[in-house]
Amino acid sequence: MRKKKLKERKLRAKRIARERIAILLRLADKTARGDVSLAERYGELARKISIRCRVPIPSEWKWRYCRFCKTLLFPGITAIVRTRSEKYPHLTIKCLKCGSINRRPYLREKRKLREGLKR
């Protein structure tokens, strides 16, 4: 009986953590244009909640964190995003805080687009 209640409590805490992470990241996006430091703080809080509750950050937001300094990246404000096509097509994301570069391929998306046009 106790184990069941403990498990329910943990699941409830994880669900609440996921909701709060989503809320904080949406708020960070809204406030990024006006107050960058507040938006970065929201991103930091979301990351701390995910670590503490062992909940992954949603995949649509995960690429927005710098892999080296762990700050939340806002394209055009705290990061420069470029598209490159030499060797293999990819996005180049440069963090303006620490200067690190992250590359993300977009070949799969391009192939899906081509396949959709052929049909």
For 15-73, write each residue's pLDDT tens digit. Answer: 999 999 999 999 999 999 999 999 999 999 999 999 999 999 998 899 899 999 999 99
Residue 66, Cα to own-chain centre: how many angstroms? 9
In the chain, CATH 1.20.5.420 sits at 1-61
Cite the DSSP H helix spans in 32-104: 36-53, 59-62
Mean pLDDT of 82-104: 89
The CATH H-level (homologous superfamily) assignment of domain 1-61 is Immunoglobulin FC, subunit C (1.20.5.420)
94, exposed or middle or buried, with CB in 10 Å at 0-12, 13-18, 19+?
middle
pLDDT in tens, 78-92: 999 999 887 788 889
pLDDT at 116 over 70: no
